[in-house]
Amino acid sequence: MGNLFGIARSSVCAIVHEFCKAVRQVLMPEFIKLPEGDALREVLQGFQMRCGFPQCAGAIDRSHIPIIAPEENHVDYFNRKGWHSVLLQGVVDHQFCFTNIYTGWPGSVHDARVLRNSCVFAMAERGELFPPDTVEINGVQVPIMLLGDPAYPMRSWLIKGYTDTGNLTEQQRYFNERHSKARVTVECAFGRLKGRWRCLGKRLDVDISTVPTIISACCTLHNVCEKHVADFVHEPRSNSRHIQTPKHSVKYLTKVSKEENCSEQRVSPAGNFLQSFRANQRRASLRRRHRNTANPSWDSAQQEPRNTHLPQLSE
């Protein structure tokens, strides 16, 4: 970007950081917030209709965001997978949108500890997370709740599946199936997030103090894209224990329709930007080459080569 527009790399970094900070301060409160009123009822109905799980207001989980090892306390950021990361805890609705995020903890910290230090846990323990509306199911009053994996503690507002010891009843297995189907939405949301913002899928080469701001900005823009039904790129899977840098190629940013005999390609917004960026790079390189040589330049008005000592490029 700096070479393309003639801006110093430090200026580009400053602009990116200012943009992320503005998104976090201005847009994040508007696009990332816990559902209330009609929005909450829509989420409850969405999980009920899509996953068959009642009284579900969201799914909660965490994801590791790769980072460059910080200079101080780098051991704390070394996770069990074998690389340095920062944790992102997210609560997701039925439409893969984040309703709450909490990030900044080192990758070696347990999920339950991150949860206990989050505002979601504090609000839920005070009874302020969701309204006290209950629904009677098989003679039991079921409150509004979140769904989590076995790493989280069991609470009245946080439900996890039965531990499979090989002796589960048919009803318990059925509950686990419905629970897993609803909870997987948060894992899908993380995949869609990293598919849109590739910087979260490779090591963030920024100071550790700015990592939470960048993550928050990406989550906010992810919600904007989801609300406008924008395309995304699936996060590539890798069997390596190290993070693989994604291949920034147009073929990874292009979606081809699965219909038979269909040759039309639908390029995502990220693909359009990348194509435009590369075209501008080629034009800038061509201009530099013409300025540094005495080769004939092309006059678009006369449609013929013109020899000049200092080439004059047409606009």
* Model pLDDT for residues 209-231, shown as the tens digit of each residue: 999 999 999 999 999 999 988 77
- Do 269 and 242 lie in one domain? The reply is no
Asked whether residue 231 falls in the same domain as residue 308, the answer is no
Q: What is the model's pLDDT at position 158?
A: 97
Kindly report which listed range (3-12, 48-57, 80-89, 278-287) carries the lowest average pLDDT score: 278-287
User: Shortest CA distance to 73 belongs to which of 103, 106, 42?
Assistant: 106
What's the average model confidence in pLDDT over 143-152?
A: 95
Identify whether residues 178 and 275 lie together within a single domain: no
Please identify, among 211, 231, 246, the residue that sits at the C-terminal boundary of a domain: 246
pTM: 0.73
Q: 202 vs 31, which has greater pLDDT?
A: 31
* Rounded Cα–Cα distance for residues 93 and 74 (Å): 34
Residue whose entry in the numeric block shows the structure tokens 């909450």: 40
The reply to whether 161 and 96 lie within a common domain is yes
Query: Are both 171 and 107 inside the same structural domain?
Result: yes
Whether residue 313 is predicted with pLDDT greater than 50 in this model: the reply is no
pLDDT at 263: 34
Q: How many domains does the chain have?
A: 2
What does the pLDDT read at residue 262?
38
- 241 shares its domain with 294: no
Q: Which residue has the higher pLDDT, 109 or 5?
A: 109
Rounded alpha-carbon distances, angstroms, from residue 188 to 5, 31, 63, 236: 36, 19, 11, 13
pLDDT of residue 281: 63
Is there a single domain that holds both residue 199 and residue 185?
yes
Closest alpha carbon to 146 in 137, 154, 135, 136: 154
The answer on 188 and 78 residing in a single domain is yes
Same domain, 30 and 161: yes
Q: Are residues 203 and 306 in the same domain?
A: no
126: exposed, middle or buried (C-beta count within 10 Å: 0-12, 13-18, 19+)? exposed
Q: CB neighbours of 165 closer than 8 A, spacing ≥ 6?
A: none
Q: In this structure, are 39 and 172 located in the same domain?
A: yes
Q: How is 108-123 classified by DSSP, letter by letter?
A: TS-HHHHHHTSHHHHH
Mean pLDDT of the region 183-204: 94
Q: Range of 284's domain?
A: 252-315
| Letter string b/e over residues 259-288, b meaning 16 or more CB atoms within 10 A of that residue's CB | eeeeeeeeebebbeebeeeeeeeeeeeeee
Residue linked to tokens 């996890």: 160
* Residue written as token pair 């969201």: 58
**Between these two residues, 134 and 269, which has the higher pLDDT value?**
134
Cα–Cα distance, 15 to 117 (Å, whole number):
32
State the Cα–Cα distance between residues 254 and 263, nearest whole angstrom. Answer: 12
258 pLDDT more than 60: no
Q: Which residue has the higher pLDDT, 260 or 75?
A: 75
244: confidence class by pLDDT, cuts 50, 70, 90: very low
Q: For the chain, what is the mean pLDDT?
A: 81
The pLDDT, as a whole number, for residue 233 is: 67
Counting residues of the chain whose pLDDT is more than 90, the rounded percentage is: 63
Residue 315 has pLDDT above 80, yes or no: no
Residues 185 and 314 in one domain: no
Average pLDDT over residues 269-298: 54
- Domain end residue (candidates: 216, 246, 276): 246
The yes-or-no verdict on residue 300 having pLDDT over 50 is: no
More confidently predicted of 278 and 185: 185
Q: Which of 246, 266, 290 is the C-terminal boundary of a domain? A: 246
Structure tokens belonging to residue 281: 């790079």
